[in-house]
Amino acid sequence: MKKNILLLVLIIGFLMSSCAQNSDYVIKIKTNYGDMVAILYDETPKHKKNFIKLAEDKFYDSLLFHRVMKGFMIQGGDPDSKKAKPGQPLGMGGPGYTVDAEFNKNFFHKKGALAAARQPDAQNPTKASNGSQFYIVHGTVINPSDVENLKVDQLKFNEAFQKFIANPANKPTIDSLMFIYTAGDMSAYQKKMMSILPELEKQTGMKLTKEISEQQIQVYTTVGGAPHLDGDYTVFGEIIQGFEIIDRITSQTVDGNNRPMDDVVMTISVEKMSKSKITKEYGYVYKDIKK
């Protein structure tokens, strides 16, 4: 009898585990410009659990996408944005905690990527995420001729370049760059900047390039995105429906702080659904589900 009960418990446990593995959460982001649907990655469990909890607690309801930059991203989740007055600066609020960074080289800043905002490295060397603020990438399509630029770590390059400028011995190179820039030949300017990369690495001791996969190159040169953010901000999900809403929101007129002149208000809900149904309704294909 005891063996039968134990067997029944094991079977029930197996069935529950199987159901959990074959279901997921669908995130619905409703705005006054239309609705978006997203999924969150299991490989970033801390961010996924946190975002779902906040959504279920109605934390995001009536907050704004307070920072909108065409060709870059839309950002929201600041609790201070609820009922914010016109022109009120936003972007510093949060739930009072951070979430540990969860970088994964398989998740990058393609158009529609859902990622966590955070404080700059100087105040936040571990790159921990703000507990509630997130952004959705709009991005731009990279010209195939500029693929080599994708391999440059732009944040580190900018830091190294500032040190390069501060060295008086580099004045002839800086003057040359300024002459090309003033002439308006951006192609020549970009080539010149790339040509000094080895010297920047030599003088600063910094590695200014990063690895980039063929998948990233293919996506960034067709779908587009914001590759300069890769490896510095946690990407924990992606939009699977409603890409046109990102375009619509980024087309709005903004003020000097990139806040839309007309508020973009959000409401976020969560629905548990079988992975097969998600694939059928939204076309998102899970890697762990066999066809």
Reduce the DSSP state of residue 25 to 3 states and report it: strand
**Do 138 and 170 fall within a single domain?**
no
pLDDT digits 0-9 by tens, 211-241: 889 999 999 999 999 998 998 999 999 999 9
Domain-located, residue 18: no
**Do 41 and 138 fall within a single domain?**
yes
**Do 222 and 125 fall within a single domain?**
yes
pLDDT digits 0-9 by tens, 66-84: 999 999 999 999 999 999 9
- Name the average pLDDT for the chain: 91
Give the domain-ending residue among 163, 181, 204: 204
Domain-located, residue 7: no
Q: What is the pLDDT of residue 141?
A: 95
Give the domain-ending residue among 183, 204, 225: 204
Between 191 and 100, the higher pLDDT residue: 100
CB 235 within 8 A of CB 108: yes
Query: With 70 as the cut, is the pLDDT of residue 16 above it?
Result: no
Share of the chain above pLDDT 90, in %: 78
pLDDT-derived band at 17, boundaries 50, 70, 90: very low
DSSP β-bridge partners for residue 241: 37
Domain-located, residue 263: yes
**Do 68 and 168 fall within a single domain?**
no
Query: What are the residue ranges of helices labelled H in 117-267?
Result: 147-150, 154-166, 171-183, 186-195, 197-204, 214-220, 243-250
**Do 50 and 194 fall within a single domain?**
no
Mean pLDDT of 3-27: 63
Q: Give the strand pairing for 113-116 and 98-99.
A: unpaired
**Do 238 and 98 fall within a single domain?**
yes
* HEC per residue, 88-123: CCCCCCCCCCEECCCCCCCCCCECCEEEECCCCCCC
**Do 114 and 220 fall within a single domain?**
yes
Q: What is the pLDDT of residue 18?
A: 47
**Do 255 and 118 fall within a single domain?**
yes
Give the domain-ending residue among 162, 186, 204: 204
Domain-located, residue 161: yes
Residue 143 burial class via C-beta count within 10 angstroms: exposed 0-12, middle 13-18, buried 19 and up: exposed
* Long-range residue pairs from 72-75, CB within 8 A, at least 24 positions apart, any chain: 72/137, 72/138, 72/139, 72/226, 72/250, 73/135, 73/136, 73/137, 73/138, 73/139, 73/226, 74/135, 74/136, 74/138, 74/246, 74/249, 74/250, 74/264, 75/117, 75/133, 75/134, 75/135, 75/136
Q: What is the pLDDT of residue 151?
A: 87
Q: Which domain holds residue 186?
A: 152-204
pLDDT-derived band at 127, boundaries 50, 70, 90: very high
Q: What is the pLDDT of residue 7?
A: 54
Please give the Cα distance from 143 to 198 (Å, whole number).
Answer: 23
Mean pLDDT of 104-112: 96
**Do 38 and 176 fall within a single domain?**
no
Please give the Cα distance from 13 to 6 (Å, whole number).
Answer: 10
Query: With 60 as the cut, is the pLDDT of residue 175 above it?
Result: yes
Mean pLDDT of 3-13: 53
Domain-located, residue 6: no
**How many domains, the chain?**
2
**Do 163 and 68 fall within a single domain?**
no
**Do 42 and 97 fall within a single domain?**
yes
Q: What is the pLDDT of residue 20?
A: 54
**Do 169 and 114 fall within a single domain?**
no
pLDDT-derived band at 290, boundaries 50, 70, 90: very low
The CATH number linked to 130 is 2.40.100.10
Nearest to 278 by CA among 16, 25, 17, 21: 25
pLDDT-derived band at 8, boundaries 50, 70, 90: low
Share of the chain above pLDDT 70, in %: 92
